[in-house]
Chain A
Amino acid sequence: MKKKSILVAASVLGLSLLTACNSTDNKSQAESTGDSGVRTIKVATGHTSKPLSWVDENDEVTGYEPELIKELDKVLEDYEFELFGVEDSAGETGVATGKYDMLAGGLGFTEERAEQYIIPSESSGRALIKIYVAEDSGIEGIQDLVGKKISPLSPAGATYKTVKDWEEENPEFKLEYDLADVGIPIADRLKEVATGKYDALFYPSSYGQIEIIEDQKLPVVGLDPVKIIPTFFMIHKSEENEELKQAIDEGLKELAEAGVLSELSTEFYAEDVFQYD
Chain B
Amino acid sequence: MTLETGMQELLMEFLKTLPINIIIIILSAALGLLFAVLLTFVRLKRIPVISQLADLYVSFARSVPGLILLFIAYFGIPKVLPLIGLGTYDISPMHAAIISMGFYHSGYISEVFRPAYLAVEKSQHEAADSLGYTPMQKFFRIILPQMVPVALPGYGNALVYLIHDTSLIFAIGIVDIMGTAELSIARSYGTNQILIYFIIALMFSAMCFTTDGLVRKLEKRVAIR
Contacts and interface: CB of A to CB of B under 8 A. Distances in A.
B173 A47 contact: yes
Contacts of B23: 16, 20
22 contacts: A13-B27, A16-B23, A16-B26, A20-B94, A24-B94, A47-B173, A47-B179, A48-B186, A49-B186, A50-B186, A50-B187, A55-B175, A55-B183, A57-B187, A87-B170, A90-B171, A90-B173, A99-B90, A186-B189, A187-B190, A211-B189, A216-B191
Contacts of B90: 28, 31-32, 99
A84 B189 contact: no
A24 B191 CA distance: 35
B12 to A, nearest CB: 12
A277 interface: no
B171 A16 contact: no
B171 A86 contact: yes
A97 B193 contact: no
A86 B189 CA distance: 18
A42 to B, nearest CB: 9
A207 B90 CA distance: 33
Contact of B171 (A50, A57, A89, A97): A89
Contacts of B193: 185
Interface string A174-188: 000000000011111
A47 B74 contact: no
Nearest to B9: A57
Nearest to B171: A87
Contacts of A97: 75-76, 78-79
A185 B189 contact: yes
Given A56-B187, A99-B78, A86 B182 contact: no
Contacts of A212: 189
A83 B23 CA distance: 25
Interface residues of B, number: 30
Contact of A47 (B76, B95, B183, B189): B183
B104 to A, nearest CB: 18
Contacts of B187: 50, 54, 56-57
A172 B170 CA distance: 47
B189 A59 contact: no
Interface residues on A, range: 35 or more
B42 interface: no
A208 interface: yes
A48 B184 CA distance: 9
A49 B74 CA distance: 22
Contacts of B173: 47, 84-87, 90
Interface of B: 23, 26-27, 30, 71, 74-76, 78-79, 90, 92, 94-95, 98, 170-173, 175, 179, 182-183, 185-187, 189-191, 193
B172 A187 contact: no
Contact of B186 (A32, A54, A86, A99): A54
Nearest to B189: A187
Given A13-B30, A185-B191, A27 B92 contact: yes
Of all A-B residue pairs in the complex, the 4 with the closest CB atoms, nearest first, are: A185-B190, A48-B186, A24-B92, A87-B171
A1 interface: no
Nearest to B30: A13
Contacts of A50: 186-187, 189
A93 interface: yes
A24 B75 contact: no
A189 B106 CA distance: 43
A37 B23 CA distance: 38
Nearest to B71: A93
A83 to B, nearest CB: 10
A32 B190 CA distance: 37
A17 interface: yes
B74 A20 contact: no
A86 B179 CA distance: 10
A108 interface: no
B75 A48 contact: no
A27 B74 CA distance: 16
A258 interface: no
A99 B80 CA distance: 12
Contacts of A84: 173
Interface in A210-228: 211-212, 216
Contacts of B171: 86-87, 89-90
